[in-house]
Each structure stands twice: as C-alpha cells, then as structure tokens.
C-alpha cells in the first residue's frame, strides 16, 4: 500500500495521544502528590494544635491538683509533718490537729482523693527544697513511699508544678504529676487516621516528655512546632517517604491506565484509518489512471462508504458529464469550436467548484465540524454572488454579502472581532450599486483592524433622516494616518470622474471606485463624508437624498 498523508496523520495522532496522555499523567500525578502533601500537612497542623490544647489543659489541671495539696495552712502543715515526723507521730498529729472537719490534713488521703477523682493521673511525686527524702506514689501504690532525694529522678512524662508557702512567699518545693499517655494517644489517633504522624512534646526546659510515632526519615526542619501558653513545645511531622510511596503507587496506577487508554485509542484509530486509507488510495489510483489517458475508467463505488461514496459517485457523474461535453464539443463546427468551448467551460467550472465545495461542506457536517461547514457555505454564497452579472443590488442583499464576508474574516480571530449590520424598516429594498459597501469592510479587515486588541468592532447602519437615507460605516480600528486622510477626503470631495489613465496613477483606487459608482448611480443626490483619528477608527457617512 502506498504511503499517503493519512498514514502520516495516523502517526501524528498517535504521537499526540501519547503526549496528551503523558501530560495528563504528569498533571494527575502532581495533583495527587500535591493533594496528599496538603492533606498530611493539614492533618499535622490540626494534630499539633489539638495536642497543644490538650497539653495546656492537662498542665492546667495538674497545676490545680498540685496546688490543692497546699491550698491552706493545715494542708501545708500536713505535707511538712509527713516529711519530718515518723509514721506514728504523723498519725497522732492528724488525730489531734485542731482543724475544721471539712479540711483533710492527711497527705495520703488527699493524694488518694486525687487518684480517685482524676483517672488521667498515674503518679504523684513531692520533693521539698532542702529535704533529704522525696515522696513517690503511683496509681497502683497510692500510699506512696519516701526515697532518698539523691536517688529520685523525676519521670520523663511528669508535669513539674512549683508549690509555694504563702506565709513566707517563697517556693518550698515541686510536685511532679504524671498524666496517662493514653489520653494523648487517643487525641493523636483520632486526628491522624492512617497517616504515620510523629509527635513530640518538649518541656519548657526543652526536654522531651512525650513522644508518639516513628521519627525515622524526619529532618529537623520537617517539624511543625507550636508553643503552648505554659511554654511547652508541641511538634509534629510526617515522614517524607509516606507521601512519596503513596504518590508512586497512585502514579503507577495512572500510568497503567494511561497505557491501556493509549493502546485502545491507537487500535481504534488504526482500524478506522486503514479502512479509510484503503478507500482513498483506490480513488487516487483511479484518478491517476484517468489522468494518464484511460478516460473510460471509473471509481469503484461498491467499496466506498459515507462521504467517500458521495465523492466517488459525484466524481463519476462529473467525469461522465465531462466526457459527454467533450464529445459534444468535437461535434461542433470548427468555426464554433472556441466559442462553444468557452461556453461549456463557463458551465463546468462553477458547477465543479460548487459541487466540490458542497462535498467538502457535507464532509465537515458528517464529521461534526459545523463551524467549518458554515464557513464553506458562506464562502460558496460569496462566490455565487461574485459571479452573478447584476450591476446593482438591494441594500439588504449588499449588507448580507458584507455580513458573510465579515464572518469569514472573523473566523481567523473569533474572540477579537465583532460586527453588526442594521437596516431601518422600509429600506431593505433600496437599490444601490453592487459591491459598493463591501470594499469599505474589506479595507477595515485589511488595514484598520488591530488583532492585538479584543474589542475590534465594525458596524453598518442604514436609517432614514430628514429627506434622505444615511448609510454609516463605522469601526474602532487603527484609523487613517493624517496624510492619507487628507488625500482621501480630497478624492471624496471631487464630483468629477477621472479617466482611466489618471486612475491607474493614483492611490486609493477602491475608495475612488466606490465614490464614482455612487456618483453615476445617484448623481447629485449623493454625498459622502469621512472622519478618522489615529487609533480611534474611521467613519464613512453616505447620504442619498430623496427624489
């Protein structure tokens, strides 16, 4: 099979498909990565904010609980006496203490009450300044015990709360309250879902007191940090490999789907193009045979489909008609040969041209290219109007011709040009010289329009005024340079016709032609004005006085 443009077109389409699908894969992959990154960043931000709020809340609660142990003199004495008395002496003191019944001075009982009323507390340690022992207790051993101060090490996850003796207005020691880590675990689990968040809480002294998740692969700059109102630092981060792994997996699925799509589309295109190419090759080969002299050869229509069947059938009909015309020409007398040949050619050429344009238009319609079909239709209408022999036209037909011409010009830049044609009722049938307005429209599209702008406009209005009909052709284009404007205004001011020799030596032939044709058609009833400024367009005002 010969290599035709359709074969190359299939390759071009295949490459375009691969490029489009490849770009789509890149866009989807980037979008997936970006959305996952933003999602994890948002989760991390929400988690750090929520955890900071929880740390502040439990630090505040721990402070309240610690202060409740020394909130009055009796309780403070109970703390002091616990460290300086023996157990028996401490028991006797508690029984003999002169305090109201609602005040509990027993340190053991007060600590037990804290454990009972606050399930999140897992341990309470009390270390007084300059004392040799430290009280240590847990939820399992609420009674607690004393350890030598040199052996005591505060738990990593304990909140240190300074306690005061208001009588001397000084810090007397520190109470360490440990919070159940599950409290924070639940907050973190509710926020992160399946995202492997790593969270850490630092004390005001920058020591880590809480930690969740794996920090492997997390750099120092990857942490999102938030300071609490009590100077604790809460920080969170997501391992970089998590987003990458998720994106690689989804990208693989996208690429796989894209490859399947490309394969299906290519197979479909190949099937369609091969069948189409086979038919086109047959048409071209047959036409070559006819060109080489086999005038009896015709295109086989039984293997053609849709628009190619129409083209083949019409071409065969045209060839038959041409054969018949040629045979008729040869039968003419020698003296009539040239004249008859021109007559037949004048019939065949437009007919062939219109048929060809119609075939192209129908093919565009069948390919759902309605805009292209409209363009071909308008162009065909313009050609028919050009070929007609009339020397004059109704105002309605002239403006319709201008509209079609403007439409064809606008197709090149559909979003930057607008046009409008308006005829006052009753003026549609007014006769004017044919092609007397179209050259002005053509001048605008050839010289006046600025395609860098998006607001190009040209309009034609026909309206009745006192004792006359006014035609106004107006645009907002580049305008006419001052030196050219003066020359054109001089031409339009003249009421004399120029002979052929002088006309060929002057510029602005089109405008002069319009002016002289209006003069010949309407005589003294006709007048014209031209106004223009640079970058503000041009306006032609034509007035035809009533008879």
For residue 379, tell me if it sits in a domain: yes
- Domain of residue 469: give its range: 395-497+507-545
Residues 439 and 382 grouped into a single domain: no
- pLDDT over 70, % of the chain: 83
* pLDDT average, residue stretch 409-433: 87
DSSP annotation string for 288-317:
HHHHTT-TT-----TT--HHHHHHHHHHHH
- pLDDT over 90, % of the chain: 14
CATH of the domain at 537: 3.30.565.10
Q: What pLDDT, on the 0 to 100 scale, is given for residue 530?
A: 93
Lowest mean pLDDT among 233-242, 330-339, 353-362, 439-448: 330-339
Q: What pLDDT, on the 0 to 100 scale, is given for residue 105?
A: 83
Alpha-carbon distances of 506 from 295, 487, 493, 502, 533, rounded to whole Å: 51, 10, 16, 7, 23
Residues 96 and 233 grouped into a single domain: yes
Residues 338 and 452 grouped into a single domain: no
DSSP 8-class letter at 139 = S
- Report the alpha-carbon angle 421-422-427, nearest 5: 125
* pLDDT average, residue stretch 150-174: 86
Residues 219 and 302 grouped into a single domain: no
DSSP 8-class letter at 452 = T
Q: What pLDDT, on the 0 to 100 scale, is given for residue 528?
A: 93
The domain tally of the chain equals 4
Residue 309 has pLDDT above 60, yes or no: yes
For residue 4, tell me if it sits in a domain: no
Q: What is the pTM of this model?
A: 0.45
Confidence of residue 532 (pLDDT cuts 50, 70, 90): very high
Q: Please give the span between the terminal C-alpha atoms of the chain, in angstroms, as a whole number.
A: 72
For residue 8, tell me if it sits in a domain: no
Residues 373 and 458 grouped into a single domain: no
Residues 379 and 404 grouped into a single domain: no
Tens-digit pLDDT profile for residues 111-136:
898 989 998 899 999 999 888 899 99
Higher pLDDT, 526 or 43: 526
Helix (H, G, I), strand (E, B), or coil: what is residue 320? helix
Tens-digit pLDDT profile for residues 321-347:
877 777 765 555 554 555 444 544 444
Residues 177 and 83 grouped into a single domain: yes
Choose one of 389, 418, 451: the last residue of a domain: 389
Q: What pLDDT, on the 0 to 100 scale, is given for residue 343?
A: 44
Residues 235 and 93 grouped into a single domain: yes
Lowest mean pLDDT among 268-277, 342-351, 385-394, 524-533: 342-351
For residue 258, tell me if it sits in a domain: no
Q: What pLDDT, on the 0 to 100 scale, is given for residue 505?
A: 52
Confidence of residue 175 (pLDDT cuts 50, 70, 90): very high
Q: What pLDDT, on the 0 to 100 scale, is given for residue 10?
A: 67
Q: What pLDDT, on the 0 to 100 scale, is given for residue 339?
A: 46
Asked if residue 468 lies in contact with residue 541, where contact means CB atoms within 8 angstroms, the answer is: no
For residue 303, tell me if it sits in a domain: yes
Confidence of residue 360 (pLDDT cuts 50, 70, 90): low
Q: How many angstroms separate the CA atoms of 115 and 461, rounded?
A: 94
């Amino acid at each position: 099979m010969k290599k035709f443009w359709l074969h190359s077109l299939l390759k071009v389409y295949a490459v375009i498909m691969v490029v489009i699908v490849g770009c789509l894969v890149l866009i989807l992959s980037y979008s997936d990565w970006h959305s996952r990154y933003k999602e994890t960043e948002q989760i991390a931000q929400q988690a750090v904010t929520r955890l900071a709020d929880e740390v502040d809340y439990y630090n505040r609660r721990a402070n309240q609980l610690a202060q409740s142990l020394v909130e009055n003199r009796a309780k403070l004495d109970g703390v002091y006496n616990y460290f300086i008395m023996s157990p028996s002496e401490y028991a006797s003191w508690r029984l003999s203490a002169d305090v109201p019944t609602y005040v509990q001075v027993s340190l053991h009982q007060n600590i037990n009450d804290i454990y009972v009323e606050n399930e999140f507390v897992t341990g309470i340690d009390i270390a007084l300044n300059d004392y040799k022992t430290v009280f240590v207790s847990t939820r399992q051993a609420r009674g607690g015990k004393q350890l030598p101060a040199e052996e005591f090490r505060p738990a990593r996850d304990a909140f240190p709360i300074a306690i005061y003796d208001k009588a001397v207005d000084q810090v007397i020691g520190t109470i360490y309250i440990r919070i159940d880590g599950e409290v924070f675990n639940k907050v973190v689990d509710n926020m992160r879902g399946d995202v492997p968040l790593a969270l850490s809480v630092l004390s005001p002294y920058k020591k880590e007191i809480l930690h969740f998740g794996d920090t492997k692969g997390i750099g120092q700059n990857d942490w999102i940090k938030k300071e609490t109102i009590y100077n604790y630092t809460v920080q969170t981060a997501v391992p970089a490999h998590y987003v990458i792994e998720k994106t690689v997996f989804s990208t693989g699925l996208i690429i796989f789907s894209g490859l399947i799509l490309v394969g299906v589309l290519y197979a479909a295109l190949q099937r369609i193009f091969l069948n189409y190419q086979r038919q086109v090759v047959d048409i071209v080969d047959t036409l070559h045979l006819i060109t080489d002299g086999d005038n009896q050869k015709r295109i086989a229509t039984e293997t053609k489909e849709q628009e190619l069947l129409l083209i083949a059938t019409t071409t065969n009909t045209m060839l038959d008609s041409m054969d018949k015309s040629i045979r008729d020409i040869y039968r003419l007398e020698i003296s009539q040969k040239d004249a008859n040949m021109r007559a037949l050619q004048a019939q065949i050429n437009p007919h062939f041209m219109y048929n060809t344009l119609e075939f192209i238009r129908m093919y565009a319609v069948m390919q759902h290219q309605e805009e292209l079909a409209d363009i071909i239709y308008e162009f065909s209408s313009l050609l028919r109007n050009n070929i007609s022999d009339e020397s004059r036209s109704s105002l309605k037909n002239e403006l319709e011709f201008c509209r079609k011409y403007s439409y064809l010009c606008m197709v090149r830049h559909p979003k930057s040009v607008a046009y409008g044609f308006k005829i006052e009722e009753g003026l549609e049938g007014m006769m004017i010289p044919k092609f007397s307005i179209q050259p002005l429209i053509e001048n605008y599209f050839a010289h006046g329009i600025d395609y860098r702008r998006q607001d190009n406009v040209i309009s034609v209005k026909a309206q009745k005024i006192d004792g006359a009909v006014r035609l106004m052709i107006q645009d907002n284009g580049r305008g006419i340079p001052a030196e050219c404007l003066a020359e054109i205004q001089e031409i339009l001011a003249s009421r004399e016709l120029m002979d052929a020799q002088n006309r060929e030596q002057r510029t602005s032939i089109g405008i002069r032609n319009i002016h002289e044709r209006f003069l010949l058609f309407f005589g003294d009833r006709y007048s014209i004005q031209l106004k223009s400024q640079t970058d503000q367009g041009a306006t032609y005002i034509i007035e035809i006085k009533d008879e």
